[in-house]
Structure formats: C-alpha cells, structure tokens
Amino acid sequence: MNAAAGQATGPRAQARGWRLLATRAILLAYLTFVVTAVGNDSRGASAVAGYVIVAAFAVGWLFVPLPVVLGISQVPGYRFWIVYAVLTALLVAELPFAHAQAFVMAVFLSILIAARLGTRAVPVVLALAVAALVVPVAVPSWHVSLGAAWDDVTPIAIPVVALMTFAVHQSLASSHALAEARAELASLAAEQERFRIARDLHDLLGHSLTTITVKAGLAARIGQADQARAIQEMTEVEALARQALGEVRAAVASYREVTLAGELATGRQLLRAAGITADLPRAVDDVDPAHRELFGWVVREGLTNIVRHSRARSCAVRLSPSSIEITDDGIGSSAPPGNGLTGLRERVAAAGGSIEAGPGQPAGWRLRVCLSPGAAA
C-alpha cells in the first residue's frame, strides 16, 4: 500500500503544485489596478520606481512557499515572516506612487496571513482593511474624500478574501485529516486481520504441537527400555501430526474461501468504517452461481482499493447475471497496477472474461468485469 501510494503521490503532488502556481499567477491580474494607478499618479522616474515595486511584489507572491498558500502544512516560521515582511515593505513603498490603489496589494497579504494563522489573523486583516480606508483620506495630497474611500471596494475585499482563504484552508485541512484517518483505518484493519490469523493458528497448533513434543521426547527416552510403548507413543505422535495438518489446511481453506454475499457484507462494514457512502446490492440471486466466487474477489479487490487510495465519498456496486461494475467518485489513481489488480486480471482471464479498470466519467474510478454466460467457474 505504501509503495503504491508513494508512486502515485509524486506525479499527483507535482500536478497540484503546478495548478496552485497557475492559480496564484491568475490572481496577479488584480495588480493591474496598481499598475494603472502608477501610470495616473506618477511620472518619469517615479513611475518607473512604482512599476518596479509592483513587479517585485508579483515575483515575491509567486515564490511564496507553496505550503503557506495551500494551508495544510507549515514552513518554518522565520521563512514565512521574512517573505511577509518584504511584501509588506513593498506595499508601503508603493504608496507614494500608486496612492490609494496600492492597498490592492494588501489583499494578497490578507490571503497569506489567513492561510498561515487562521482565526488568529483577524487583527492583522482588520488593520489592513482599516488602513486601506483611513490612510487615503488622511493624506491630503491624494485628494480622496471619505465618500470616495467608502466607494472603493478594497477595504471590503481585504476581509472577504481573508474569510474565503480561511474557508478553503479549513476544507483542505479536513480533507487531509480524513485521508489520514482512512489510511489509518485500512492499516488497523490489516493489523487486526494479522492478529486474528495469529490467534487462530495459535489456538489450532499450540496444543497439538505441545503434545507432539512431549510424546516424541517420551518415546526417545523409553525407546531402549520399552520399545512397544515407544512405538505406541510415536503412532500417537503421527496421528496428532496428521490431525494438526488437517486443521491447518482447513484453516487456510477457510481464509481463502470467498463468497459474493460475504464480501458485500464485509465491504459494507469496511466502507461504513471509512466514512464512504455505499450503494451495494442487498441480494445476489440474479448472478449466475458459477460467477459468484469470482465476483466476490472483484468486490474484495475493488472496495479495498477504494478505501486505500481513492479518497472517495461514495461508491456503488452494480450486478448482472454475468457482469459486475464498481464505481466511486474519488480521485482515481496514476500509480501502476498493484499485485491485487494484476492477480484479479489473471483470475478473470482464466474464467474467459474481460476486465476494464480506469478513470470514470465524469470523475472517479471504474472497475468492470464481464463474463460470458456459459463461462466455467
């Protein structure tokens, strides 16, 4: 599971990083208000200085560490505050050249501080909003009246954007925590199964092997003095060994026995524990009896992969006399097929059927197995 997740995480994380970078680049379009203001309020060298400051701010915004914007993990505090201090200084430096419109840059500062501090960013966000409202009126040379200051959307945009950032931060954090909880559930389920097997094997073999050991030792000790009894003891040892071997074989056969109805019942419990809404058939009477064991393996593999890798909110299983389809609304997977899916392909091929596994429409993952009506079990 970890190997598959690791293989899928690299490309997925890289793609997510590029999407975030593109989103941040699109947000820079908001800085056109600052550029326009520099052109209107400054001339000559002053205008050039204003444009340079805007460009420096844009570069700093693009190269803010991704975890800060994503809001899930945190980078070292000193790195964030250095970047934040530089961007704040650029905002202050832009005021003489863009005047009131320079506070558009405060919108970007509110995004960063809300992603970093969450609700603790409220004082900073309010200070930025108040400054965007009061400073233009307080500087006489800018000729901004109080009414004009209220007409500007920037003082309102600063807290609104911060609130939206906080909501996105909470949503991402919840999704991250849910994914970790699901992975933990899958790990606990596997650990519980290992404990169950160890317990059952101990119960099956502990008494038998102890008895065999004692009787074999006794036969070795009395072999010279009482050969008849030694032979009797060894005969009983042989019988006990055969009995233990039969119990182990029965246990192994029991572990490998798969039924469609049983796998649906187990899968319903697994999905409920993982917080995934399940739409599973209540009966399997419509399925050809010759196909039920194979379809049981399909359900086991499909639902296990959904819990482990899909991050789905819901999944569904559809049955027909000779086909089964499992779908979910998760993220799919870019990882190479694992041993489970490879083994399932071998089972389906041996039964003369076909298997389709890939992205669903419009999203999620789809696993479908079809068998001919007369296929052998």
Torsion of CA 135, 136, 141, 143, to 10 degrees: -150
- Give the list of residues 6+ apart from residue 249 with CB closer than 8 angstroms, or none: none
User: Which 8-state DSSP code applies to residue 370?
Assistant: E
Which pLDDT tens digit goes with each residue over 261-305?
Answer: 888 887 887 777 677 899 999 888 888 888 888 998 899 888 888
Alpha-carbon distance of 331 to 14, in angstroms, equals: 15
Confirm if 23 and 30 have CB atoms less than 8 A apart. no
* Range 187-256 has CATH code 1.20.5: yes
- Give the list of residues 6+ apart from residue 207 with CB closer than 8 angstroms, or none: none
Which pLDDT tens digit goes with each residue over 312-361?
Answer: 889 999 999 999 999 999 887 655 566 678 878 888 888 899 999 888 87
Alpha-carbon distance of 27 to 288, in angstroms, equals: 57
Which pLDDT tens digit goes with each residue over 91-123?
Answer: 999 999 998 889 999 999 998 888 888 888 899
- Give the list of residues 6+ apart from residue 113 with CB closer than 8 angstroms, or none: 84, 121, 124, 125, 162
Mean pLDDT of 145-152: 68
Higher pLDDT, 291 or 239: 291
> Hey, where are the domains in the chain?
2-178, 187-256, 260-370
Token pair listed for 283: 């009966």
Token pair listed for 268: 């319903």
Alpha-carbon distance of 26 to 367, in angstroms, equals: 37
Token pair listed for 106: 């405060």
pLDDT over 60 at 131, yes or no: yes
260-370: CATH topology:
Heat Shock Protein 90 (3.30.565)
Q: What is the sign, positive or negative, of the torsion defined by CA atoms of 276, 282, 287, 289? A: positive
Alpha-carbon distance of 244 to 251, in angstroms, equals: 10
Alpha-carbon distance of 313 to 329, in angstroms, equals: 6
Alpha-carbon distance of 94 to 51, in angstroms, equals: 9
Strand-pair category, 323-328 with 365-370:
antiparallel
Strand order in the sheet with 323-328: 277-279, 314-320, 323-328, 365-370, 354-359
Which pLDDT tens digit goes with each residue over 153-194?
Answer: 888 889 998 898 888 878 877 877 887 888 888 888 878 777
3-state secondary structure of 187: helix
Higher pLDDT, 201 or 134: 134
pLDDT at 118: 83
Amino acid 220 reads A
Full-model pTM? 0.47
- Comparing CA positions, the residue from 79, 80, 76, 88 lying closest to residue 127 is 88
Mean pLDDT of 53-79: 69
For the chain, where are the alpha helices, taking DSSP H only? 2-27, 32-41, 45-62, 66-70, 77-98, 104-117, 122-138, 146-151, 154-222, 227-256, 260-273, 292-305, 339-350
pLDDT bin (cut points 50, 70, 90) of residue 222 is confident
